[in-house]
């Protein structure tokens, strides 16, 4: 359980105490579980605020709440990724730009767009709302595992994400991600929608990363989580979900 608690501390601001334990390779398989935990907190929060505010206002508060729970950790990665990959520079220069703590125009556009898509998506979910709110954060963190499994790390000299690539992920490391898929059967017929959408979105992002950079960084993994989250919420609000 030390690795689970370490994963919670790493990608959330949830108060679960302090520890020196940091085993990146052991933590990574627990990212989907942390996503499900965030989803449960989000669903509970949404259940409370929809008693007070209309769906549009509640969706804004949901987006803010989710960002607050993660300390905007993945949002920061999204901004850095957009600044780097959309700069149309050399590979080395893109990596330098992503390392810069300052945010550029493309980073701002990416963050605003993703947050707006989350708001539109959540505000449009009515059927099986709680199930979607729980599952989508779990799926978005599962995308990070696929990114780690299918791409090489782009900063061999070191970086925030470097320890997570100490060894290749094995099939058993996807156990919690598989449990997340099993939970999607709670959506009834819509379980096909979330799984097909997740596979298409994640495959497209991995292909784009491979074409643009030929590798992945910690920022880019965070961007994968944010983009998956936004598009899956948007998908949930479409196709008869209203």
- Over the stretch 147-184, which tens digit does the pLDDT of each residue have? 999 999 988 777 777 888 888 888 888 999 999 999 99
pLDDT-based confidence at residue 241 (cuts at 50, 70, 90): very low
Q: Which residue has the higher pLDDT, 39 or 87?
A: 39
pLDDT value at position 240? 46
Q: What is the pTM of this model?
A: 0.92
- Kindly state the tokens that stand for 66: 């989710």
Q: Which residue has the higher pLDDT, 208 or 89?
A: 208
pLDDT value at position 91? 86
Q: What is the mean pLDDT of the chain?
A: 90
When pLDDT is averaged across residues 119-141 and rounded to a whole number, the result is: 93
Most confident of 4-8, 138-142, 158-162, 170-174: 138-142
pLDDT value at position 77? 92
CA distance 124 to 143: 23
pLDDT value at position 89? 84
């Amino acid at each position: 359980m030390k690795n689970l608690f370490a994963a919670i501390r790493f990608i959330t601001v949830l108060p679960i105490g302090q520890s020196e334990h940091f085993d990146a390779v052991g933590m990574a398989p627990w990212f989907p579980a942390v996503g499900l935990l965030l989803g449960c907190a989000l669903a509970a929060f949404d259940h409370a605020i929809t008693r007070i505010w209309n769906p549009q206002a509640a969706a804004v508060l949901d987006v803010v709440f989710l960002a607050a729970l993660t300390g905007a950790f993945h949002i920061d990665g999204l901004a850095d990724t957009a600044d780097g990959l959309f700069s149309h520079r050399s590979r080395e220069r893109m990596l330098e730009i992503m390392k810069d703590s300052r945010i550029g125009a493309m980073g701002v556009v990416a963050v605003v767009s993703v947050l707006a898509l989350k708001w539109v998506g959540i505000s449009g979910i009515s059927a099986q709302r709680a199930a979607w709110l729980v599952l989508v954060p779990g799926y978005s963190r599962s995308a990070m595992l696929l990114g780690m499994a299918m791409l090489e790390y782009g900063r061999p000299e070191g970086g925030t994400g470097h320890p997570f690539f100490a060894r290749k992920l094995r099939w058993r490391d996807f156990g919690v991600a598989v449990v997340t898929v099993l939970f999607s059967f709670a959506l009834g017929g819509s379980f096909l929608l979330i799984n097909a959408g997740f596979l298409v979105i994640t495959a497209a992002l991995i292909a784009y990363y491979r074409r643009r950079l030929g590798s992945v960084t910690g920022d880019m993994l965070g961007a994968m989580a944010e983009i998956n989250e936004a598009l899956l919420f948007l998908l949930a609000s479409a196709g008869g979900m209203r």
